[in-house]
């Protein structure tokens, strides 16, 4: 779907809201479009209890519904399933397609850097991010005129700025220059706009995050857990700054997050990713998923399902599997290897036996949900949250920034905090990093990012922003001055009347 058509739909947005989980549920949102290939069709229903767009945006309740719907869209197919696997991860050296050899072969074109502009996952990813942006723009355009609690109004606007910034960051990493739309189009002449220079997009992202951090609370009560916080805005801002090599800004932002007293590393790395440990102090921002027995429409996440162990009880699709290269990247004895990777033939810490035979030798343990929590008739693992920003990432960003600024002591201290958590009480593994030469310490920090954040959709763009694309991905077909970005979806170019241009080399 084109950005133009998304905007037209958003002009008459309708909602069916269920605030079952932590105040953030939006069961069916009319904008949710069915994606291609392998998706369950349970959203293909006629929603009941629609609220006509012409009578929306009237009061505080409408504002709350709109913001909740914005969050709900984050967990949809185009944001957490096939499209992000293809665009944000498969190109890396740590993952490959998985499943059976003949299933969803389009993933191989991303892995081999032969993807063309007509592939549907590009369109889905583009669509998913611009849907998020449109929800955010709807909030920011309409809520200011509503008579409601002033503090809540400002918070809602700040939450929308965070979501918009998050989606634009995903877009600019993936495509470079992209259309920058900060308001809902007022007429058809505003539907199609050209691409905006990457630097300008980054500036808009930073502005949103600066303003969001100034307003968002440091934390929420139990009914609002999962909403964007001040720490989330600052942490994302640090990451955005890291991609622009603004090292002093990265250091300052991460230092503020570290000194806030709000965050700490969870003691057990493997258990950090289990459902009972969602939204713990290590987690700075998570996409909130849930299985609501009385509301199947709200239980729509397929993040865990598409990556689940293939051929096991209850089933999983077996995509996005770890490579041997990832296995080999861990230092001897690093417990994060077994906490990150499910090996065929093993029994998980939760007691699930993984068959010794099957299509894939390994699976993603971070997206794993114990089989005992599967519910017949629902997506396997629908209740698994997606960890977007973690405190360990903040520490490693701080370490990298400190090293680039010549603050070796600070860099080593932040790096050691991450390694110490992984090491636990076993002093025979993961020795302290003691190198002080800048290049050697940088290599150590980059390696720590690889093993700490593995399978969390970070590695691919991390390597590119480090300038190591040819070195790491070259053997797979990656080419400099082309594969730093993916092609702009041809459907979007066509629907724009060619106001959008294609990236070089595609």
HEC states along 18-63? CCCCCCCCCCEECCCCCCCCCCCCCCCCCCCCCCCHHHCCCCHHHH
State the DSSP string of 327-381: HHHSPTT-THHHHHEEETT-B-TTSPBPPSSSS-SEEESTT---GGG--TTS-TT
The neighbouring-strand residues paired with 342 are 363
What's the confidence (pLDDT) of residue 52?
A: 60
What is residue 226's DSSP assignment? T
Q: CB-side exposure of 256: number of CA atoms within 13 Å?
A: 17
Query: Checking DSSP bridges between strand 386-390 and strand 283-287, what pairing results, if any?
Result: antiparallel
pLDDT over threshold 50, residue 42: no
Using the predicted structure, report yes or no on whether residue 488 has a pLDDT greater than 60: yes
Query: CA quadruple 72, 178, 92, 231: dihedral positive or negative?
Result: negative
3-state secondary structure of 322: strand
- The span from the CA of 186 to the CA of 173, in Å, is 28
Neighbours of 429 (CB within 10 A): 14
Question: Is residue 459 within 8 Å of residue 92, measured between CB atoms?
Answer: yes
Residues sharing a CB contact under 8 Å with residue 364, sequence separation 6 or more, in sequence order: 307, 320, 321, 322, 340, 341, 342, 455
Q: What are phi and psi of 324, to 5 degrees?
A: -65, -30
pTM: predicted TM-score of the whole model, two decimal places: 0.91
304-320 per-position pLDDT tens digit? 999 999 987 667 999 99
The region of weakest confidence among 248-262, 273-287, 351-365, 399-413 is: 351-365
Q: What is the mean pLDDT of the chain?
A: 90
- Measured between its terminal Cα atoms, the distance across the chain in Å is 21
Q: What is the pLDDT of residues 169-181, one digit of tens each?
A: 999 999 999 999 9
Share of the chain above pLDDT 70, in %: 89
Nearest-angstrom CA–CA distance, 430 and 190: 56
Q: Please determine, for residue 14, whether its predicted confidence score (pLDDT) is greater than 50.
A: no
Tokens standing for residue 398: 């701080």
Average pLDDT over residues 278-292: 97
Per-residue pLDDT tens for 111-128?
A: 999 999 999 999 999 999
Q: How far apart are CA 430 and CA 419, in angstroms?
A: 7
Nearest to 74 by CA among 34, 128, 112: 128
Beta bridge partners of 363: 342
Strands 15-16 and 28-29: antiparallel
pLDDT at 7: 34
Instruction: Answer for the pair 143, 63: CB distance below 8 angstroms, yes or no.
Output: yes
pLDDT band at 2 (very low <50, low <70, confident <90, very high): very low
**16-20, 201-205, 271-275: segment of lowest average pLDDT:** 16-20
Q: How many CB atoms lie within 10 A of CB 279?
A: 16
Residue 39 in this model has a pLDDT that exceeds 80? no
Strands (E), 226-358: 283-287, 319-322, 341-343
- pLDDT of amino acid 189: 77
CATH assignment, 3-38+50-292+388-489: 1.25.40.390
CA dist., res. 302 & res. 384, Å (int): 9
The answer to whether residues 322 and 456 touch, using CB atoms and an 8 Å cutoff, is no
Residue 390 parent element (H or E): strand 386-390
Give me the count of residues in the chain.
506
């Amino acid at each position: 779907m084109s950005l133009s058509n998304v905007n037209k739909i958003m002009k008459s947005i309708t909602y069916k809201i269920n605030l079952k989980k932590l105040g953030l549920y939006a069961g069916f949102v009319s904008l949710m479009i069915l994606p291609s290939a392998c998706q369950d069709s349970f959203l293909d229903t006629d929603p009941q209890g629609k609220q006509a767009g012409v009578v929306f945006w009237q009061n505080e309740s409408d504002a709350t519904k709109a913001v909740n719907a914005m969050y709900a869209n984050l967990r949809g197919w185009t944001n957490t399933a096939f499209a992000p696997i293809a665009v944000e991860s498969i190109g890396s050296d740590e993952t490959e397609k998985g499943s059976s050899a003949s299933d969803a072969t389009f993933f191989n074109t991303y892995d081999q850097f032969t993807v063309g502009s007509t592939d549907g996952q590009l369109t889905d990813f583009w669509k998913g991010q611009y849907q998020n942006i449109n929800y955010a723009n709807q909030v920011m355009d309409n809520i200011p005129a509503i008579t409601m609690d002033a503090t809540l109004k400002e918070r809602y606007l700040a939450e929308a700025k965070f979501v918009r910034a998050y989606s634009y960051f995903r877009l600019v990493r993936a495509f470079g220059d992209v259309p920058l739309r900060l308001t809902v189009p007022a007429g058809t002449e505003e539907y199609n706009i050209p691409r905006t220079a990457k630097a300008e997009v980054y500036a808009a992202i930073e502005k949103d995050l600066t303003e969001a951090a100034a307003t968002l609370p440091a934390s929420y009560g139990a009914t609002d857990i999962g909403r964007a916080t001040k720490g989330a805005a600052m942490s994302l801002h640090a990451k955005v700054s890291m991609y622009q090599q603004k090292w002093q800004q990265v250091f300052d932002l991460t230092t503020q997050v570290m000194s806030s007293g709000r965050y700490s590393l969870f003691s057990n790395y493997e258990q950090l990713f289990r459902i009972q440990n969602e939204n713990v102090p290590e987690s700075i921002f998570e996409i909130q998923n849930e299985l609501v027995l009385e509301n199947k429409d709200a239980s729509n996440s397929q993040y865990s399902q598409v990556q689940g162990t293939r051929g096991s009880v209850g089933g999983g699709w077996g995509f996005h599997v770890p490579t041997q290269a990832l296995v080999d990247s861990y230092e001897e004895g690093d417990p994060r290897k077994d906490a990150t990777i499910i090996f065929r033939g093993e029994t998980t810490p939760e007691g699930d036996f993984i068959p010794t035979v099957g299509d894939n030798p390994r699976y993603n343990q971070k997206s794993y949900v114990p089989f005992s929590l599967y519910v017949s008739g629902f997506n396997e693992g629908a209740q698994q949250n997606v960890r977007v920003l973690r405190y360990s990432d903040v520490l490693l960003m701080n370490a990298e920034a400190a090293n680039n600024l010549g603050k070796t002591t600070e860099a080593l201290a932040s790096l050691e905090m991450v390694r110490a958590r992984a090491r636990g009480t076993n002093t025979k593994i993961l020795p302290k990093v003691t190198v002080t030469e800048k290049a050697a310490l940088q290599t150590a920090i980059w390696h720590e990012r690889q093993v700490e954040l593995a399978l969390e959709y970070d590695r691919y763009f991390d390597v590119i922003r480090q300038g190591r694309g040819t070195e790491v991905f070259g053997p797979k077909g990656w080419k400099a001055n082309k594969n730093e970005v993916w092609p702009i979806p041809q459907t979007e170019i066509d629907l724009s009347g060619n106001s959008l241009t294609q990236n070089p080399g595609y």
